[in-house]
């Protein structure tokens, strides 16, 4: 397995181009199953998750071409049965369920896998599809769904940890071809959901309210092809922003959309960093020292759970006590033990991590447990003195395109070592 070798103690400076959003492009790719016509998706990051989704669509019968950041997909003749060996590897693959039901009125999709960051049930997905008229059963590791016809309804998608992003995407995609009007209450408000709705409206769907807690979908008879550019990845932008602040540097994030990063930029300012907005992106300049913070993860527009690990790495450098509380996933502190191998002082008390920062970090061998934990360990390795080796960076390759290349261009001493 590949790993990153980092010689720490460097300061990041320069410009980095933020790529297209992984969390937006995966459901958008799934949405191409709703039409027989050709769809073109631009600014697509070359990630292992994107490649997995390409394989899933091809296994369903779609033709897929991916070159130079552009996907061309035509799902003229498709099957309703998803490949178990592909889908089980990626959590986001569950988003094929909604469009298959919308187009074929039947689907058999294996229960998905992904990062080990706690239980992520799909009960709200099933609840939403059942409200549209689908009959659902789980058997042999598959979700089997069928219906003589989908119809509109009023659906509440609030869950224990707030609205479900992929659940909202699945219900929206199923409802665009349903008869009548569907009202989704407690819908996810994330920019990635808004981008999906823009894509679907470009295909001819009639969706209103995306970005608010209430989305209204008026069903249409058929959808056509579309040419769409994916939004910038707010989590990649946030990760490089934190890396700039943790390293004491100054980095311009080209293409970053500040309006999608409100809570992240607010906490960066509170930590001492300066943020400059400008046409085409923003610039993050580290303060003289990192200040301690209190952070609680929340659904959008609150602080994103996908930035929790990166901030924890930075807060290990802040003299004083910081508290990070995780309210979205119950097992998302696996990176804490690895940060402690670098010299961090972190205690876990229920849903909160107590970080007593200010102690110098020193390089060590560490193991990535999930996608964002990988990014946190890379940030800590850049800030630490000495050599850090981050193992299992295949996790990181799921959500960051050529991260080591981008960091090296900013001055990091980092290289990928190829494993067997």
Torsions phi, psi of 49, nearest 5?
-65, -40
So which residues are the catalytic ones? Answer: 115
Query: Under CATH, to which class is 22-229 assigned?
Result: alpha beta
| CA–CA distance, 399 with 410 (Å, rounded to integer) | 19
Q: Enumerate residues 6+ apart whose C-beta is below 8 A from 285.
A: 244, 249, 250, 273, 274, 275, 276
Residue among 32, 97, 19 at smallest CA distance from 71: 32
Rg (CA), the chain: 21
Tell me, what's the pLDDT at 113? 54
Report the DSSP pairing between strands 13-17 and 250-254. parallel
Question: Which pair of structure tokens corresponds to residue 258?
Answer: 């500040």
- Taking the chain (420 residues) in runs of 10, the rounded mean pLDDT of each run is 96 98 97 98 96 94 97 96 75 89 93 48 89 92 92 93 92 98 98 98 98 98 98 98 98 98 98 96 97 97 97 98 93 92 97 96 95 96 98 94 98 91
Q: Which residues pair with 355 in a beta bridge?
A: 322, 346
- For 148, counting Cβ atoms within 10 Å of its Cβ (0-12 exposed, 13-18 middle, 19+ buried), the class is exposed
* Polymer length in residues for the chain: 420
| Domain pair 3-19+232-417 / 22-229, same fold | yes
Q: What is the 3-state secondary structure (H, E, C) of the chain?
A: CCEEEEECCCCCEEEEECCECHHHHHHHHHHHHHCCCEEEEECCCCCHHHHHHHHHHHHCCCEEEEECCEEEEECCCCCCECCHHHHCCCHHHHHHHHHHHHHHCEEEEECCCCCCCCCCCCHHHHHHHHHCCCEEEEECCEEEEECCCCECCEEECEECCEECHHHHHHHHHHHCCCECEEEEECCCCCHHHHHHHHHHHHHCCEEECCCCCEEEEECCCCCCCCEEECCECHHHHHHHHHHHHHHCCEEEEECCCHHHCHHHHHHHHHCCCEEEEECCEEEEECCCCCCCCEEEECCCCCECHHHHHHHHHHHCCCCEEEEEECCCCCCCCHHHHHHHHCCCCEEEECCEEEEEECCCCECCEEECCCHHHHHHHHHHHHHCECEEEEECCHHHHCCCCCHHHHHHHCCCEEEEECCC
Residue among 289, 293, 284 at smallest CA distance from 249: 284
| CA–CA distance, 259 with 265 (Å, rounded to integer) | 10
Tell me, what's the pLDDT at 86? 77
Tell me, what's the pLDDT at 119? 42
Question: Which pair of structure tokens corresponds to residue 181?
Answer: 């009007």
- 8 Å CB contact between 171 and 132: yes
What are the boundaries of each domain within the chain?
A: 3-19+232-417, 22-229
What CATH number matches the domain at 3-19+232-417, 3.20.20.110, 3.65.10.10, 3.30.470.20, 3.30.200.20? 3.65.10.10
| CA–CA distance, 191 with 89 (Å, rounded to integer) | 25
Number of other CB atoms surrounding residue 228 within 10 Å: 22
Residue 292 zone, left/alpha/beta (φ > 0; ψ -120 to 50; rest): beta
- 8 Å CB contact between 151 and 123: no
Tell me, what's the pLDDT at 264? 98
């Amino acid at each position: 397995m590949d790993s990153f070798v980092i010689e720490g103690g460097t300061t990041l400076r320069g410009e980095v181009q933020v790529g297209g959003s992984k969390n937006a492009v995966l459901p958008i790719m799934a949405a191409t199953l709703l039409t027989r016509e050709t769809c073109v998706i631009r600014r697509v990051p070359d990630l292992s998750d994107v490649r997995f989704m390409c394989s899933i669509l091809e296994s369903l019968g779609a033709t897929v071409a991916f070159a130079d950041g552009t996907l061309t997909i035509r799902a003229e003749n498709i099957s309703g049965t998803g490949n178990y060996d592909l889908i089980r590897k990626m959590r986001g693959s569950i988003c094929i369920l909604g469009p298959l039901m919308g187009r074929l009125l039947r689907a058999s999709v294996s229960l998905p896998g992904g990062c080990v960051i706690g239980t992520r049930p799909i009960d709200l997905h099933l609840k939403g599809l059942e409200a549209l008229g689908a009959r659902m059963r789980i058997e042999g590791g598959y979700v089997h769904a069928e219906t003589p016809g989908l119809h509109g309804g009023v659906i509440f998608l609030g869950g224990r940890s707030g609205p479900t992003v992929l659940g909202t995407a699945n219900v929206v995609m199923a409802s665009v071809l349903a008869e009548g009007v569907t009202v989704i209450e407690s819908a996810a408000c994330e920019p990635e959901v808004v981008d999906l709705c823009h894509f679907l409206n470009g295909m001819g769907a009639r969706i209103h309210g995306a970005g608010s807690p209430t989305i209204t979908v008026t069903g249409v008879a058929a959808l056509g092809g579309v040419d769409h550019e994916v939004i910038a990845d707010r989590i990649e932008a946030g990760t490089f922003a934190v890396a700039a602040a943790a390293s004491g540097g100054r980095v311009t994030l080209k293409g970053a959309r500040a309006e999608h990063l409100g809570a992240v930029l607010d906490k960066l300012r509170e930590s001492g960093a300066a943020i400059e907005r400008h046409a085409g992106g923003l610039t993050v300049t580290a303060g003289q020292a990192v200040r301690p913070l209190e952070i609680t993860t929340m659904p959008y527009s609150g602080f994103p759970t996908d930035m929790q690990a990166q901030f924890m790495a930075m807060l290990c450098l802040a003299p004083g006590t910081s508290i990070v509380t995780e309210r979205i996933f119950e097992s998302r502190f696996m990176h804490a033990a690895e940060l402690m191998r670098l010299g961090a002082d972190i205690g876990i008390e229920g849903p909160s991590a107590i970080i007593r920062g200010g102690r110098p970090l020193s390089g060590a061998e560490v193991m990535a447990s999930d996608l964002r934990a990988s990014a946190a360990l890379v940030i800590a390795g850049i800030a630490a003195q000495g050599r850090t080796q981050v193992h299992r960076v295949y996790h990181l390759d799921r959500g960051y395109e050529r991260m080591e290349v981008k960091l090296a261009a900013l001055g990091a001493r980092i290289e990928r070592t190829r494993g067997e």
